[in-house]
A and B are shown apart, each in its own frame.
Chain A
Amino acid sequence: EAQVTQNPRYLITVTGKKLTVTCSQNMNHEYMSWYRQDPGLGLRQIYYSMNVEVTDKGDVPEGYKVSRKEKRNFPLILESPSPNQTSLYFCASSPRQGGGQPQHFGDGTRLSIL
Chain B
Amino acid sequence: AQKITQTQPGMFVQEKEAVTLDCTYDTSDPSYGLFWYKQPSSGEMIFLIYQGSYDQQNATEGRYSLNFQKARKSANLVISASQLGDSAMYFCAMRPNFGNEKLTFGTGTRLTIIP
Contacts and interface: CB of A to CB of B under 8 A. Distances in A.
Interface of A: 31, 33, 35, 40-45, 48, 50, 56, 58-59, 88, 90, 92, 94, 96-100, 102-105, 107-108, 110
Contacts of B85: none
A99 B97 contact: yes
B35 interface: yes
Contacts of A58: 100, 102
Contacts of B93: 43
Nearest to A101: B50
Interface of A is mostly: strand
B107 A40 contact: yes
A45 B93 CA distance: 12
Interface stretch (B10-18, B39-47, B69-77): B39-47
Interface string B74-106: 000000000000000001010101101111011
Nearest to B1: A59
A44 B95 CA distance: 13
A102 B91 contact: no
Interface residues of B, number: 23
B98 A97 contact: yes
Nearest to B106: A42
Given A90-B45, A105-B45, A107-B44, A100 B101 contact: no
Contacts of B45: 90, 92, 105, 108
Nearest to B108: A42
A50 B52 CA distance: 21
Contact of A31 (B91, B101, B106, B107): B101
B33 A99 contact: yes
Contacts of A43: 91, 93, 103, 105
B102 A108 contact: no
